[in-house]
Structures are given as structure tokens and as C-alpha cells.
Amino acid sequence: MQIKNAEFVTSVANLSRIDESTLPEIAFVGRSNVGKSSLINYLTNRSKLAKTSATPGRTRLINYFLINKEFYFVDLPGYGFALASKKEQAEWQSLIGGYLQNSKMLRHIFVLLDIRHEPSEKDQMMIKYLYAYQIPFSIIATKIDKVSRSQVGNFVQKLANALGVGNADIIPVSADKKIGGDKVLTKLDSILSD
């Protein structure tokens, strides 16, 4: 797949504003500061399409991006941001869960995990949730440029063991160094052609 056109469409702050789109949706979910916005920018080759920040927890809305005028990337709020109030965290969780249960056009979720860290309790809960509701997903291990190239396989194995998935179910990516995007785009191709 080649992404030739990408544009920001809207941000949604509550479930009643989730549009009934008629196009397939590919959602991105993960812990705050895992690199969702950076990955979207990398895949679309647009450095400022999705807002990135060194401060975790900036994505507090559901952001929709129209891709090739054929489908949407949906950037979900990051979970687990420690400095957010309990009320804010509960609102984000409600927004994420509501989207996952109510979006009629959701085709696939990319769950992003920082390759350097063990999956958190919230990461584990997200994977269990997706299995329980039979929502198709793939795992993307981000920030692989932060570990030595020779160690990437070992880190992927650790993630796979912790999550009970196969190594082939994890796509290692670095948005900063532009590594692995081709594999994500190939996966997108197969998702959208099913």
C-alpha cells in the first residue's frame, strides 16, 4: 500500500459525537507517549499531520484522519498517563471503550507497545479486551531505534512471551529512523483487501 493522501478530519471528545462513517477505520491504541502520533506521521509521510509532544497524555480526544479518501486512521487517547487525574483517566478509558464497542466501521486495531518495556497492566487489559470482544488487532513494537539492532529480536520475543502471541504477530517499528513502516503498510493492504 502507498499512502498518497492524508488529511485531518475531526476530533471527538465524547461518544455522542462519534460519526457514523461509511469508510473502514483502522485504530491506533497504546500507552501515553508510546508513539501513536509519530507512527501515523511516519506512515503518511506527513511530519505534522498528527500532533506529537514530548509531554505524555496530549492526545485526549479521538482524532480521525482520512487516508487516500478510502479509509480512516483513528488515533485513540493514550492510556495510563500518571499525571492525569483519576477523573480524566476514567473519561479517556470510557471514550476508548465506547469507541471500540460502538464503531460500526472498525476493521482493525494496531496496539502500540514500547519495545523497551514490559507490557503494563493496562496493555495486558487492552489485549484481553480485544480477544474478549473478538476485535482483530496487530501489535506494533515502537522505538526499536532505542535498543541495539542485534537485541530487537530478543525484545520482540519478550513482548511475545508476555502477551501470549507469536513473534510474527509483532511488527517492530521506529518512526524516528523510518524502519518497519513498509511492514505496517503491507499489513494494512491485507486488512483492507479482506
Domain presence at residue 69: yes
**Model pLDDT, residue 73:** 96
Q: Model confidence at 90, in pLDDT bands (50, 70, 90)?
A: low
Q: How many domains does the chain have?
A: 1
**Model pLDDT, residue 57:** 46
User: What is the tens place of the pLDDT at every residue in 151-180?
Assistant: 999 999 999 999 999 999 999 999 999 999
**CA-CA distances (angstroms) from residue 153 to 148, 158, 159, 170?**
10, 9, 10, 10
User: What is the tens place of the pLDDT at every residue in 108-129?
Assistant: 999 999 999 999 988 998 999 8
The parent domain of residue 74 ranges over 6-193
Domain presence at residue 87: yes
Range in 76-85, 109-118, 126-135 the model is least confident about: 76-85
- Mean per-residue pLDDT of the chain: 87
Domain presence at residue 16: yes
Range in 18-32, 44-58, 80-94 the model is least confident about: 80-94
Domain presence at residue 124: yes
Domain presence at residue 68: yes
Domain presence at residue 56: yes
Give the CATH number for residue 173: 3.40.50.300
User: What is the tens place of the pLDDT at every residue in 33-46?
Assistant: 899 999 999 999 99
Mean predicted confidence (pLDDT) in 8-35: 84
Helix/strand/coil (H/E/C) assignment for every residue in the chain: CCCCCEEEEEEECCHHHCCCCCCCEEEEEEECCCCHHHHHHHHHCCCCCCCCCCCCCCCCCEEEEEECCCEEEEECCCECCCCCCHHHHHHHHHHHHHHHHHCCCEEEEEEEEECCCCCCHHHHHHHHHHHHCCCCEEEEEECHHHCCHHHHHHHHHHHHHHHCCCHHHEEECECCCCECHHHHHHHHHHHHHC
Domain presence at residue 27: yes
**Model pLDDT, residue 53:** 55
User: Could you tell me what percent of the chain has a pLDDT over 90?
Assistant: 60
Cα–Cα distance between 28 and 142 in angstroms, integer? 12
Domain presence at residue 1: no
Nearest partner of 28 among 55, 54, 67, judged by Cα: 67
Q: Model confidence at 16, in pLDDT bands (50, 70, 90)?
A: low
User: What is the tens place of the pLDDT at every residue in 98-112?
Assistant: 888 888 899 999 999
Per-residue pLDDT at 7 exceeds 90: yes
Question: Which three cell numbers mark 29?
Answer: 491504541
